[in-house]
Chains A and B, each alone.
Chain A
Amino acid sequence: MKTGDRGPETGNMEMSLDALIHPAAAQPMAPRQFLVQNVRRETPDTFTLTLARPNPEEGLIFAPGQFNMLYAFGVGEAPISISGDPDRPHLLVHTIREVGNVTRALCHQKPGRAIGVRGPFGAFWPVAEAQGNDVLVVAGGLGLAPLRPAIYYLLSRRAAYGSVEIIYGARTPQDLLYRRELERWRGRFDLRVHVTVDAAPSDWKTNVGVVTALLPRARLDPFHTVAFLCGPGVMMRFTVRELLNLGLKEDRIFVSLERHMKCGLGMCGHCQLGPVFVCKDGPVFRYDRVKDWLDRREV
């Protein structure tokens, strides 16, 4: 049996672990090590980790919307979207909210420590196919993380797209991710960014309310727009409904779904949603391909 397509690599002794992998422990079951370069606090419970491959030549090529299984030594593994720039694959960026054991251990890594990475896994936002169209990005909360690579991709090929709009909602101003970047994006003339929060102190100058309330503000040509959605289930349900009302066709709407995941390989069964495995058929789906299943309860 082949032991995986990545051969052993050179690099400093301590880190050349792919070479040390016992043949049978081959990819895709064993994580590769990446070094934590930088940890940045986004919100009180959410951190962005920048990871680098010990051997800088070998990055991790990924497509916007894909995820990795991140492993904290001895604690466990969790599926986490890649939130960095697909054109800079030598840096692996993940934004993680601390909700349990694994995510806590990942968020509290110190620079210089190694974490395990398996991936990238999954289907991606159809950024290339969307060329020539307007693109609407709708994100709720942490849902901006898997969309950020798509935004980077669009912005670095900006001329290939029509209008690009981002609608982003969070619970409170403190819960907004990537605030400085949002400001920078807001300053661009070739991009419209709408930010809203559910609740805000009186000094909050922008919108208060749910993201769907901002949809009518998007200058939307339903026949030439592709929409990318990621956020809590309720937010996505209402956003889809609103987009359909505005005349967007179901096959122009893409959603990123979340399920319990243990393997990322289509083998463990946990991520099933009816006939699809979210880890390999998704997490990004064209809406019409999963809508029957999203409407069913407890599937």
Chain B
Amino acid sequence: MVARQDFPYLLEALIRRGCQLMGPTLRRGDLVYGPLHGVEDLPRGWRDWQAPGSFRLQPREDQALFGYGVGQHSWKSFLFPPRQLLWQARRTRGGFEFMPREEDHPRYAFIGVHPCDLTAIQVQDKVFLEGAYVDPTYGQRRLGAFIVAVNCGHACGTGFCASMGAGPRAAPGFDLALTEVVSPNGPHYFLVEAGTEEGGAVLGEIPHRPAAPEEWQAAEDRIKQAENQMGRFVQTRGLKELLYRNYEHPRWDDVASRCLTCGNCTWVCPTCFCHTMEDVTDLTGEIAQRWRRLDVCFSVNYSYLHGGSVRVSPRSRYRQWLTHKLATWVDQFGCFGCVGCGRCITWCPVGIDLTEEVRAIGESENP
């Protein structure tokens, strides 16, 4: 157990180890992951309110440091930057030569990683680290990262992490996991669990004591409460097969009539990894660069081929996205591409809810 007043020592211990702290901060009324200089940067006393198509921050009754759910940002922007210079080269007489580029691989400490987001990082590991090729930037950043997870004390308004096996309790993969216990006038402390040797070493550097049984219980009750609050559910058993059977389901036309194909759902999703390449030159044409940029399967260009794109209709593009998350991903990587964080539901301008779409398809088979 770590008392609230000792919490700053955790951040100090990580800074001493050379970590660059990244965590939730409030910026212009939004929850943004960015550099943390100290406890005072955390969104103390705020919580999220989420529903399809809306997100609000509201004051809490207590002074919780991690009393918010997930916002529109996720940790993927640090491990897999949305725009990244892969290399640059200068034209030479016969060809070209590579030029060094500045690339720093900061050693990040992520403070306040929700269980769903921890799972999402592990999902992206399979894409960037566990295939035949390794993405060096992702690899360097990922292997250096120190992860402080927080178990959830309330369910996000649009989340369904419990269905996806991703929350509200952090699965292994963290260095430290916190459960925050707080109430308006009661005690304020963290139950801390070390998941790695390094996590244990960091814990050893900060004041802590074994938790009393009732302190454990209070922490467990909070996680249980989050689980019970969860308003959404996806039946994952047989889900891949259900979707594979229903590529021509009329529900795809129905959702296509609502979907704007704006791609917001992919920008906010912590597992979406699709990217494109941009080759550019300077004005003289002597220096060329290759950039990697996040891409969106909702654009028509995404499936561009000689003679026209493969997926022209909005129906096929929404279907590509949803079936990738919940079906083809399983064959590709051995897990779902969705951790149930609910971001795509909250940040969809028209409030499309993938759990609803899946349910409609499922119910049409078993009315």
**Contact of B95 with A73 in the complex, beta carbons under 8 Å:** yes
Residues of B280-333 at the interface with A, using a CB-CB cut-off of 8 Å, are: 280-281, 285, 288, 290, 295, 297, 302-306, 310-313, 315-316, 319-320, 323-324, 327-328, 331-332
**Contact of A20 with B331 in the complex, beta carbons under 8 Å:** no
Judge if B184 is at the interface, Cβ distance under 8 Å.
no
Give complex CA distance A116, B96 in Å.
9
**Contact of B93 with A259 in the complex, beta carbons under 8 Å:** no
Give complex CA distance A3, B316 in Å.
39
**Contact of A73 with B96 in the complex, beta carbons under 8 Å:** yes
**Contact of B87 with A25 in the complex, beta carbons under 8 Å:** yes
Judge if A267 is at the interface, Cβ distance under 8 Å.
yes
Contact residue among B97, B101, B310, B324 (Cβ-Cβ distance under 8 Å from A259)? B310
**Contact of B95 with A29 in the complex, beta carbons under 8 Å:** no
Stretch among A159-167, A190-198, A205-213, A269-277 lining the B interface: A269-277
Contact residue among B95, B290, B304, B316 (Cβ-Cβ distance under 8 Å from A298)? B316
**Contact of A76 with B279 in the complex, beta carbons under 8 Å:** yes
Interface 1/0s, chain A 237-279, versus B by CB < 8 A? 0000000000000000000001110110111111010111100
Q: Is the interface of B mostly helix, strand, loop or mixed?
A: mixed
**Contact of B288 with A14 in the complex, beta carbons under 8 Å:** no
Give complex CA distance A270, B133 in Å.
16
Give complex CA distance A14, B139 in Å.
31
**B278 CB to nearest A CB, Å:** 8
**B82 CB to nearest A CB, Å:** 14
Judge if B274 is at the interface, Cβ distance under 8 Å.
yes
**A104 CB to nearest B CB, Å:** 14
**A113: chain B residues within 8 A (beta carbon):** 94-95
Judge if B49 is at the interface, Cβ distance under 8 Å.
no
Q: Across the interface, name the chain B residue whose C-beta is closest to A30.
A: B87
Contact residue among A2, A24, A267 (Cβ-Cβ distance under 8 Å from B127)? A267
**A266: chain B residues within 8 A (beta carbon):** 127, 131-133
**B131: chain A residues within 8 A (beta carbon):** 265-267, 280
**Contact of B87 with A14 in the complex, beta carbons under 8 Å:** no
**Contact of B132 with A280 in the complex, beta carbons under 8 Å:** yes
Interface 1/0s, chain A 93-116, versus B by CB < 8 A? 000000100000000000011111
**B145 CB to nearest A CB, Å:** 14
**B128: chain A residues within 8 A (beta carbon):** 267
Q: Across the interface, name the chain B residue whose C-beta is closest to A21.
A: B98
Residues of A173-188 at the interface with B, using a CB-CB cut-off of 8 Å, are: none
Judge if A132 is at the interface, Cβ distance under 8 Å.
no
Interface 1/0s, chain B 129-164, versus A by CB < 8 A? 001111111011001000000000000000000000
**A116 CB to nearest B CB, Å:** 8
Q: Across the interface, name the chain A residue whose C-beta is closest to B127.
A: A267
Residues of B40-97 at the interface with A, using a CB-CB cut-off of 8 Å, are: 86-87, 89, 91-97
Contact residue among A21, A24, A299 (Cβ-Cβ distance under 8 Å from B316)? A299
**A110 CB to nearest B CB, Å:** 11
**B290: chain A residues within 8 A (beta carbon):** 29, 77
Judge if A74 is at the interface, Cβ distance under 8 Å.
yes
Give complex CA distance A267, B331 in Å.
15
Contact residue among A25, A35, A263, A296 (Cβ-Cβ distance under 8 Å from B98)? A25
Contacts A99-B306, A260-B302, A267-B128 hold; do A26 and B94 have CB atoms under 8 A apart? no
**Contact of A299 with B87 in the complex, beta carbons under 8 Å:** no
B residues whose Cβ falls under 8 Å from a Cβ of A: 86-87, 89, 91-101, 103, 105, 127-128, 131-137, 139-140, 143, 247, 273-277, 279-281, 285, 288, 290, 295, 297, 302-306, 310-313, 315-316, 319-320, 323-324, 327-328, 331-332
List the 10 shortest-distance A-B pairs measured between CB atoms, nearest first.
A114-B95, A269-B274, A298-B316, A275-B331, A74-B281, A74-B288, A76-B279, A25-B87, A265-B133, A275-B328
| Inter-chain pairs besides A1-B143, A74-B91, A275-B328, 19 sampled, C-beta below 8 Å | A3-B136, A17-B95, A17-B97, A20-B97, A22-B87, A25-B87, A26-B136, A29-B290, A33-B95, A35-B95, A73-B96, A75-B279, A114-B96, A116-B96, A260-B305, A260-B310, A262-B276, A266-B127, A269-B275
